[in-house]
Amino acid sequence: MTQGSRSGAGRGDNRRQGPAQGPRRGQGPASSGRSGAPRRDARPGGPSDGAAGDSGYKGSGYRAPGAKATGPGAKGAGFKHGGPKGPQGGGKGGPQKGAAKGPRPFGNERFGNNLGPVQRKRPAASRPAPSPREDAEDQDGVRLQKVLANAGVASRRVSEDMIAAGRVEVDGEIVTELGRRVDPATATIHVDGMRVQLNETLKYFVFNKPRGVVSTMEDPEGRRCISDYVRKKGERLFHVGRLDVNTEGLLLLTNDGELANRLTHPSYEIPKTYLVQVPGPMAQGIGAKMKEGIQLEDGWASVDSFKLVDSTPGKVLVEVVLHSGRNRVVRRLFDAVGHPVKRLVRVQVGPIRLGDQKQGTIRPLSGHEIGHLLAAVGM
């Protein structure tokens, strides 16, 4: 809304007229604003779709060679360990159309509040959860607003407002009455389309795997493996997928077997984002060729998107997104086009981003991130 429209049509005519001050901020020609670097939300494409040099790839785990690092990250030009921080695009989610109004669920959490609206691919399924200790007045169930508050969604008062606004689903049904009681052991609850995980025994973590670490919990050869970084040695966790020993970045750990199976099943097509450093320069058309598909020894493979992030003498930094989980598929694709990978970092899996997490550390997912991750596989 412009300043004139805020003041009203009649009042706008009485303003003092003065000499032209030049274009107002945000309304001038493209050359008078920011530099011509591609926007972060630009449609990814081949080398011809992005410019080399300053690429506008901010908050994504990349820093230009020679730039001073501002947070914990990897050594070497062009990389800082982390993943995209900006909001992720997505369709409308939740029981209502459009973005929900009012406080966001899990609004007080540090991680995951920039993930945007939830997309639920498939109907939610009920999951067993341990029953909390119920008060005497809750013999027939626990009040819904109390369940939401105990799960950390919001305070009980704010949870009541969410229920009254029609933002809460219980077992696929929108609930608006405040007196509704549910059984946390059997109920499946969503807020704004995001699953609320009530089972406190299920754990979810993000591991920023360093180079040289084997993607196993135990290694008979004595090499460094994931269990060397898990603080609670007795905790049984699965690693969701694998990264080869020379690949760095995001690896999900969980004891939720159903989620792990869905995330790795090809039918759910969970996208994975990588930063790839290869020798340069790179010829025109490489990106288009990789998006069209390349014949490998085990069949055709392709990337979903290809974006040139940065180019320096002798080096090219590329961001690729693909949903294939085949062994070393990124390295094999770049070998096939004559650009063997020098460094490979995974920065995102589905809605979960690496951010500025320090290499070699493990952090728990927030309730917001867990909700988005479950929704991505229809849970």
Count CA within 13 A, CB hemisphere, residue 277.
21
The DSSP bridge partners found for residue 194 are 191
As given in the structure block, the two tokens for residue 12 are 């706008």
As given in the structure block, the two tokens for residue 272 are 């994975």
Rg (CA), the chain: 24
Element (H, E) at 334: helix 329-336
Element (H, E) at 319: strand 315-322
Pairing mode, strands 168-170 and 142-143: unpaired
Phi, psi (rounded to 5 degrees) for 27: -115, -5
Residue whose C-alpha is closest to residue 347's, from 251, 257, 265:
251
CB 188 within 8 A of CB 170: yes
Active-site residue numbers?
Answer: 244
Please give the full DSSP string across 195-212, using - where no structure is assigned: E----TT--EEEEEEPTT
Single-letter residue type at 14 = N
